[in-house]
Structure 1
């Protein structure tokens, strides 16, 4: 009976074992915190956090500051890909795998993934060794291929075959060593589909990369999905593999690459996450055409119950007043008539300016704009005044702004039109064409004049 109880207690202690993640960064950075996340699809799920402690070590007889941290994992922590973040932006995190073992590593916080060494964790050590070995072998194969593309007269077929075989040997070795381990799908998915014979045409070489890019990627594998692996590959394919210096061609390539990527994903929930992920990436460059394309051709075609209506509303509002958009409509009363921006038809171009009689910059620029616009017979100004009350504005516009469309926007910064147009300061300028499409959003008054001079 005692032996049975001992075994039960041993099993219980193993099943409830609490593991830790330890990191040592050199040099020490200013940040004094680390947050641990578990990666699930394109999301980061909070696990725990801790502070970075500063210690000193002797290097060449001199003291050097290093940052150390330790994060206890909950007993319920599941195997997966994890991220230790110590900066909000840029190279500010370390990704690693956890599979019921302690994980410890040292790294350079400015080059975390390139300069990391694992001291504990068999799985991470093995994966790191694989990445180093396969990268060296692959780089040698690529250098042979590039040399022939640069000089087709070179006879490197034998050398290529030998190196191709070496890449294959390295891959098979690690496939075997990683078998039944958590990292196995990552090792398998990292393999490149290299051509068996050396290629002498750059077009053939690039076509091979594009056509075989997804050969080893399994978009139904939950282990790969719940990591940064597939999202990084998608970014590479969309933004780097499919690249053109020509802006029109680049938009075409973006759309084609998006179609290719999304055709690989059969799970609607994961597809939704990837579409949202891509929308946010194109948000960085304000590529409205591609964002619209993603919504219209993919996101809106997902099952209705799966679509995140809050996400859609936020993005629609965020890009409502970007260049290329039709300006959001608003109405006002002018000389006893109700007017709407959308139906206004008295000019070929419109300058919309959000201003205020309490704004010193506005009081300097508005008179200059008024003088400039006197000779612009095909243009009209829509002056939207953000005020707490209309007392000063009413006198000012009657005296100084005759001939303009003058609108009083009460509640100032809380005015609904101002919020729709994302007006955070005055004056704010927009230039519209006859159809009320936004054709420019100049930041400075001189930029306004420069743009109008070109029309």
Structure 2
């Protein structure tokens, strides 16, 4: 066991610009679309180092909090090294990998972009020229080059080969030619890499699009095929519940959430998390408390410390255009709210705390942020999948309403 553990350890080292020398950095792996923290980075000078102490094969993401940007990479349970550069806005603009598998992965991503964006245009342009023209021949040569896939490059890299071979399920343009049965067969027979490949969620969205004439019936077929007593089946069920929640497909979400709750077998962590986060935000449930870490306009230590007849909890971000449109409408009614002992608590999904505080100071109500963007705990605790998201609580922090828009908030509180 000792030798197995030693073998399972690997390191990710990143050459970083000086701007990121004081940034928090995190390395995540995947379980479907859920990102799992594998390592917090240690930064010394211009090097960020991550140590992974258990075996992992699949896609990973290194997130640099200060720049609010990240790098995707492939892990074969072996060391990874790369260098990043920033643009004028301090976002990651260029990544150069030194290990072979990630060089191949970078080429794969670049080729895929060209095949999706450039290849269709070249094919159309070619029709305007005659076969005997030199430009026609040049176009034809480029089309052939972009259309080629050298599968032998991946022979010694089984995960990358899996990722390469199954992109047709996750890319919308390619998935349109597939049948419902193709997807079900893929999920039923796919090997161990599906959950760590980042293919699962986009492929399920494509499956639902292909199933649009009978979504419920085809989802039932899928869940029967993958077996809800297995980790694979439960992860797929969890993903589907999250997708239905994101797209406000409430009838389907409620049906399959009830199915998850009624399972009598052992539940894996992924599905258990989905069940719990949905229980946390049911009407009539007590809203889980939140401890403040970077609060503005309050000396309170937590959400429960704020006493009011009602509280509006809004999840927002300084970079969210819908928030920019909706929050000023709450500001217009804020004096009326205070007169009725109603308080607003804004929980921000910003990554940059300076940007959060600058925007939060525009609004007089209580605000807080973990400074971790979509890696904040809010998503898992409160099932937040978009901003702005609203909840109205009573004096005992019981959820009494879950408005969809700011207008619904104002109507519910009779503030017109």
TM-score when normalising by structure 2: 0.53
For 1:85, the equivalent position in structure 2 comes to 63
Whole-angstrom distance in 2 between the partners of 1:232 and 1:16:
31
Q: 1:104 aligns with which of 81, 91, 111?
A: 81
For 1:334, the equivalent position in structure 2 comes to none
For 2:13, the equivalent position in structure 1 comes to 22
Equivalent pair of 2:10/2:52 in contact (CA under 8 Å): yes
What is the CA-CA distance between 1:77 and the residue it aligns to?
3.3
- Indicate whether 1:32 and 2:10 are aligned: no
Whole-angstrom distance in 2 between the partners of 1:286 and 1:130:
34
Give CA deviations for 1:331-374 in whole Å, capped at 9, x if unaligned.
xxxxxxxxxxxxxxxxxxxxxxx948xxx9679459xxxxxxxx
Whole-angstrom distance in 2 between the partners of 1:71 and 1:309:
28
For 1:118, the equivalent position in structure 2 comes to 97
What is the CA-CA distance between 1:47 and the residue it aligns to?
2.8
Give CA deviations for 1:188-245 in whole Å, capped at 9, x if unaligned.
1125899xxxxxxxxx999537779859956543443232422342365268x679xx
Q: 1:312 aligns with which of 272, 275, 286?
A: 275
For 2:200, the equivalent position in structure 1 comes to 231
Equivalent pair of 2:33/2:201 in contact (CA under 8 Å): no
The Cα RMSD (Å) is 5.4
Q: Relative to structure 1, is the Cα distance of residues 37 and 355 closer, same or farther in structure 2, using a 3 angstrom cutoff?
A: closer
Q: Relative to structure 1, is the Cα distance of residues 123 and 28 closer, same or farther in structure 2, using a 3 angstrom cutoff?
A: same
Whole-angstrom distance in 2 between the partners of 1:13 and 1:301:
38
What is the CA-CA distance between 1:421 and the residue it aligns to?
2.7
Whole-angstrom distance in 2 between the partners of 1:254 and 1:167:
35
Question: Which entry has the higher C-alpha Rg, 1 or 2?
Answer: 1
Equivalent pair of 1:27/1:108 in contact (CA under 8 Å): no
What is the CA-CA distance between 1:284 and the residue it aligns to?
4.6
**Larger deviation, residues 282-291 vs 441-450:** 441-450
Whole-angstrom distance in 2 between the partners of 1:449 and 1:34:
44
Whole-angstrom distance in 2 between the partners of 1:259 and 1:167:
39
Equivalent pair of 1:42/1:228 in contact (CA under 8 Å): no
Give CA deviations for 1:102-144 in whole Å, capped at 9, x if unaligned.
21112357765x843212x211111222332343245443225
For 1:129, the equivalent position in structure 2 comes to 107
What is the CA-CA distance between 1:85 and the residue it aligns to?
2.6
Equivalent pair of 1:140/1:163 in contact (CA under 8 Å): no
- Indicate whether 1:274 and 2:253 are aligned: no
Q: Summarize the alignment of residues 348-367 of structure 1 with structure 2, pairs less than 5 Å apart.
A: 355=309, 364-365=339-340
Whole-angstrom distance in 2 between the partners of 1:128 and 1:361:
55
Equivalent pair of 2:41/2:49 in contact (CA under 8 Å): yes
- Indicate whether 1:177 and 2:153 are aligned: yes
Q: 2:39 aligns with which of 33, 48, 59?
A: 48
Equivalent pair of 1:23/1:104 in contact (CA under 8 Å): yes
Instruction: Say which structure, 1 or 2, has more relative contact order (CA 8 Å, 6+ apart).
Output: 2
For 2:360, the equivalent position in structure 1 comes to none
Local SS of the residue matching 2:73: strand
Whole-angstrom distance in 2 between the partners of 1:82 and 1:146:
37
Q: Relative to structure 1, is the Cα distance of residues 232 and 99 closer, same or farther in structure 2, using a 3 angstrom cutoff?
A: same
Equivalent pair of 2:32/2:194 in contact (CA under 8 Å): yes
Give CA deviations for 1:263-289 in whole Å, capped at 9, x if unaligned.
774574223223223433444565533
What is the CA-CA distance between 1:79 and the residue it aligns to?
3.5
Equivalent pair of 2:84/2:95 in contact (CA under 8 Å): yes
What is the CA-CA distance between 1:292 and the residue it aligns to?
1.5
Q: Relative to structure 1, is the Cα distance of residues 363 and 23 closer, same or farther in structure 2, using a 3 angstrom cutoff?
A: closer
What is the number of residues matched between the two proteins? Answer: 304
Local SS of the residue matching 1:226: helix
For 1:448, the equivalent position in structure 2 comes to 414
Q: Summarize the alignment of residues 287-298 of structure 1 with structure 2, pairs less than 5 Å apart.
A: 287-296=249-258
Whole-angstrom distance in 1 between the partners of 2:68 and 2:204:
17
Structure 2: 5+ residue runs without aligned partners?
286-307, 311-334, 342-393
Whole-angstrom distance in 2 between the partners of 1:154 and 1:70:
53
Equivalent pair of 1:80/1:223 in contact (CA under 8 Å): no
Whole-angstrom distance in 1 between the partners of 2:413 and 2:112:
53
Whole-angstrom distance in 1 between the partners of 2:118 and 2:52:
40
Q: Relative to structure 1, is the Cα distance of residues 210 and 128 closer, same or farther in structure 2, using a 3 angstrom cutoff?
A: farther
Q: Relative to structure 1, is the Cα distance of residues 320 and 138 closer, same or farther in structure 2, using a 3 angstrom cutoff?
A: same
